[in-house]
Structures are given as C-alpha cells and as structure tokens.
Amino acid sequence: MLKQIAYASRQSYILNDTDIMELLANCRRNNSLYQITGMLVFFDGTFVQYLEGPEKNIDALYKKISNDKRHRDIVLLIEDYIENREFADWSMAFKNVTAANIKDIEGLKDFKKEDLFKGKNPENEHPGILLLKSFVNSLHL
C-alpha cells in the first residue's frame, strides 16, 4: 500500500528560475532515492504538489516540506492510500503555470490564487486538484 498527498503552499520569498531548477534537481534526486513520485505545479508564487510513495517516506517528506523556510500557509488537499502509483515514471514532473493557462482549465475560469487556500468544499473539487489534473491531462495528450 502506498500513500498519496497533495498540498498547496505559498513561497516565503521570491524564488527565481535558477532557484526553482535547483529545487527540482534536488527533489528528483531525493525522490528517486526514497521511491517517491509526483508532480509540482508553480503558479505566481504558489506551489501545488502531488506526491506518492511508501507511507513512511511520504510522511517524512511532508514533515520536511512543512518545516522548509521556502513554504508558508501549507494546505493539505489530499491524504489517502492507493494500491498503485498514478505517476510511476515521474520522479517530479514540473509545470510553471500562468494566469492565461488557468483560464483555459475547465472549472477554473474564475480562479483566484486565494482559492487554493480555502477549505475543502464537499460539493466541488478543490481548485488545486483541478489544477493538478489539468496538468496531468496535458501531459497525456
């Protein structure tokens, strides 16, 4: 049994393109070592990330992320268990999303970044999950 989580967070300070690329390189290397796969979406200073892997490794990584000075206002979107990986081939897929990209996503036409930090609404899928799913769908086209 594997564990999956997804979260949204705000960057604590401005990360430039070099910072993001270094972060991704470290994530990809470490995720491979700890059997973690997933994806990271970056939008206007906001991270939305999906991770899956062995429970103890996911829990340790989420604790590390929660204590990472680059993140603030972390909101857990998903925490569940799965039989099989959704993204077995991705140590860390990445997409830098713009406001124009988001307006094209079904269900996010009136999206505001603050929507990522609202609580879960049982009647609607969380905007962070819609954002992740749209990214996944674009990779599979």
pLDDT of residue 78: 85
Residue 102 backbone phi and psi in degrees, to 5: -65, -35
Domain count, the chain: 1
Nearest to 38 by CA among 96, 94, 97, 91: 91
DSSP-derived secondary structure for 72-112: EEEEEEEEEEESS-S-TT-SSEEEEE-HHHHHTSTT-TT--
According to the model, what pLDDT value does residue 59 have?
Answer: 97
- Residues of the chain with pLDDT below 50 are 140-141
Report the pLDDT value the prediction gives residue 33, as an integer from 0 to 100: 94
pTM comes to: 0.80
Do the bridges between strand 93-97 and strand 37-43 make them parallel or antiparallel, or are there none, so unpaired?
parallel
For residue 91, the model assigns a pLDDT of 80
pLDDT of residue 48: 86
**CA end-to-end span of the chain:** 29
pLDDT, position 64: 94
Domain holding 86: CATH number?
3.30.70.100
Domain limits at 86? 2-140
Tell me the per-residue pLDDT of 46-67, one tens digit each, with 9 for 90 and over.
Answer: 888 999 999 999 999 999 999 9
pLDDT attached to residue 65: 93
Q: Is 74 exposed, middle or buried (0-12, 13-18, 19+ CB in 10 A)?
A: middle
pLDDT at 16: 86
Q: How far apart are CA 9 and CA 74, in angstroms?
A: 4
Residues in CB range of 119: below 8 A, 6 or more apart: none
